[in-house]
Every structure is written in C-alpha cells, then in structure tokens.
C-alpha cells in the first residue's frame, strides 16, 4: 500500500487486539484515518443540506454501524469493506457537490449500507476482545463527527453553494484516491 493510502486509512495492521480494548482507543479509532473521518463528516453535511430532518441519516448510520460492529466482532466481514468505505466517501462527496437529494427511502438505505460497512470494519478491529467499551467509544466519536458535519452543513455550507461544491469535490477526490490506492 502506498504511503498516502496508509495515512488516510484507519488501519490497525500490526496492532494487537488488546490495544483496542479501552473506551479511549475506541474514541480514537474513527479519528485516526481520513477515510472514516471524511465519510462521517460528509454524511452529516449531506444530511443537513438534503434532508428536512438533518438528524435522521446520521441516526440510521449509527444504528447500521452498531449492527455491522456486532457482526464484525463475530468474524463477519467481506473482502470489499475497504473499497466500500472508499465508495462511501466518493458518493457522499458527489451528492454534496451536486447538491443532490434522494428520496428519503433511498437516502436512508444508502446511509445504512455505508454505516454497516464502517461498523463491520470497526467490529473486525474488535474481534477477539470484549468489544462493548471500545465500541461505545467508536459510536461516540462517530456521533460527534456526524454532529460536526450537520453543523457545518447548516451554518457554513447551506448559504454558500460554492463551498458545498468545493467540499463535495474534495470528498469525492479523496474517495477516488482511496479507491486508486487499493489496487
């Protein structure tokens, strides 16, 4: 993997599972890679811009992430988790840049799928340890990142179309960079 991709992915390669067994390590995990940070902030931004109830998509993401975590801790995972996380950054960026809205059902299904994959990635990190304490930390930091995105979306991006397009383009470019680094 190239150095850029190693920096942006919230990887834990070479880290023993017991190093992820505290609440604080759980809080830090989603913050250690731009892949998770950008996807979660982008969900909040897009939700604030595209949905009448800005809290709904982040809530669905968190619930789906929790389900994915549970399944990840028992060994469920698929080979496409990292590409799906990259696609989540790309798609959310495209939706923000295009100022696009989806039907509520489509929006929630999309966000749930992305949340599930992020949760499965987190759960795989927690496989083999007691996951509840670090999982609570991961969920908390995810909620904070979503809240940050919602606030940015409502306060900074909603009145500034150029800022929406610029930030959406940046998220999409990061998603493409992540995808290109996976090969």
Percentage, residues of the chain above pLDDT 70: 85
* pLDDT recorded at residue 115: 95
- When divided into structural domains, the chain yields a total of 1
pTM: predicted TM-score of the whole model, two decimal places: 0.85
* Residue 3 covered by a domain: no
At CA 137, angle to CA 135 and CA 140, rounded to 5? Answer: 110
Percentage, residues of the chain above pLDDT 90: 52
* Residue 71 covered by a domain: yes
Question: Strand, coil or helix: what is 138?
Answer: helix
* Residue 140 covered by a domain: yes
pLDDT top residue among 41 and 9: 41
* Residue 124 covered by a domain: yes
* Residue 12 covered by a domain: no
* Residue 59 covered by a domain: yes
Which region holds residue 81: left if phi is over 0, alpha if psi is between -120 and 50, else beta?
alpha
Residue 18 has pLDDT above 50, yes or no: no
* Residue 7 covered by a domain: no
Domain range for 35 is 18-181
């Amino acid at each position: 993997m190239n150095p850029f991709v190693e920096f942006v992915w919230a990887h834990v390669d070479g880290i023993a599972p017991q190093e992820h067994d505290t609440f604080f390590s759980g809080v830090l995990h989603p913050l250690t890679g731009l892949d998770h940070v950008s996807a979660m902030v982008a969900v909040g931004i897009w939700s604030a811009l595209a949905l009448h109830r800005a809290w709904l998509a982040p809530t669905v993401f968190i619930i789906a992430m929790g389900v994915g975590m549970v399944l990840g801790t028992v060994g469920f995972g698929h080979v496409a988790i990292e590409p799906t996380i990259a696609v989540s950054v790309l798609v959310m960026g495209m939706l923000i840049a295009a100022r696009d809205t989806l039907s509520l059902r489509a929006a929630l299904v999309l966000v749930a799928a992305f949340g599930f994959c992020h949760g499965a990635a987190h759960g795989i990190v927690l496989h083999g340890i007691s996951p509840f304490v670090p999982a609570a930390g991961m969920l908390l930091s995810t909620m904070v990142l979503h809240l940050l995105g919602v606030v940015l979306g409502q306060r900074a991006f909603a009145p500034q179309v150029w800022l929406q397009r610029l930030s959406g383009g940046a998220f999409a470019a990061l998603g493409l960079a992540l995808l290109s680094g996976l090969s």
